[in-house]
Every structure is written in structure tokens, then in C-alpha cells.
């Protein structure tokens, strides 16, 4: 009889881990869903220095313009005519109000203006140009 009683005590002392695992998986799903992913341009450019530069915190789309006129978005090179379509695709994945242009200090002004026109055509009104401080 004492043996059966001791077995019942061990059985009652077991801890059920299922509720804790459920909570951990729910939290994991929550953090994955609420994470914002930044779409980097994919290349480094030599940005000009700016004395009054400020940081923008909520930008998710970056467009890089190299000194030779190449335009990079989402780690791939695109034509200037395809910038608006690519922005619309990125906005469908993750909406944002601002796009940052990372123009090389030797980039041609005309290419940067064409990129800005394409951004406006995609429906973005807030455009920032990145500079080093």
C-alpha cells in the first residue's frame, strides 16, 4: 500500500509544460508578424556630407543612385522607368510614407530628379536624400 501511495505522489508532482510552450509559440508568431523589414538598396554609396542631416526612423524603402547612373533597389539594379513599379510592389508588401534616396556625391543631378519623379508617380510624397554627417 505504501508503494502505491508513493507512486501517486510522484504522478501528482509532474508539471505539464504544454501551456508554457503554447505561450512561447504564440509570442514567437506575434514577434514575427509585427517585425518591420527594411528594404535596403543593396550597395554602398559615397554620400555627400551634410551639416544639418537628421535621421529618419520610419523609412522602409531605400533607393541608391551610383556615380555612373545605376539605380539599385531591394539589392538589384533597376531601370529608372521601373522605379515606380518596384516601389508599388514594395508598398504592397509593407506600406510606408517615406522613401530615402542614397545618391552618390558624384551622381548626376538629372538621374536623381528622374528617380524622384518616379517616386512621386508611385504615390509617395515624402522623399529624403541621405547624407553623411
Task: Find, among 119, 107, 41, the residue nearest to 69 by Cα.
Answer: 107
Share of the chain above pLDDT 70, in %: 69
Quick: pLDDT tens for 8-50.
655 666 778 888 899 999 999 988 887 766 666 666 666 666 6
Specify the CATH number for the domain of residue 113: 3.30.420.270
Residue 6 belongs to what domain range? Answer: 2-34
Residue 86 lies in a domain: yes
67 and 30 both lie in a single domain? no
Greater model confidence, 69 or 52: 69
25 and 83 both lie in a single domain? no
The number of folded domains in the chain is 2
Q: How does residue 3 score in pLDDT terms, banded at 50, 70 and 90?
A: low
Amino acid at each position: 500500500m505504501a508503494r502505491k501511495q508513493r507512486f501517486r505522489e510522484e504522478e501528482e508532482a509532474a508539471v505539464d509544460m504544454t501551456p508554457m510552450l503554447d505561450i512561447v509559440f504564440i509570442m514567437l508568431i506575434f514577434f514575427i508578424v509585427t517585425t518591420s523589414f527594411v528594404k535596403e538598396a543593396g550597395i554602398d554609396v559615397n554620400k555627400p556630407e551634410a551639416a544639418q542631416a537628421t535621421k529618419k526612423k520610419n523609412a522602409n524603402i531605400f533607393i541608391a543612385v551610383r556615380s555612373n547612373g545605376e539605380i539599385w533597389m531591394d539589392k538589384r539594379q533597376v531601370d529608372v522607368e521601373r522605379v515606380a513599379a518596384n516601389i508599388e510592389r514594395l508598398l504592397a508588401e509593407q506600406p510606408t510614407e517615406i522613401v530615402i534616396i542614397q545618391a552618390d556625391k558624384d551622381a548626376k543631378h538629372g538621374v536623381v530628379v528622374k528617380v524622384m519623379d518616379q517616386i512621386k508617380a508611385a504615390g509617395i510624397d515624402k522623399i529624403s536624400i541621405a547624407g553623411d554627417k
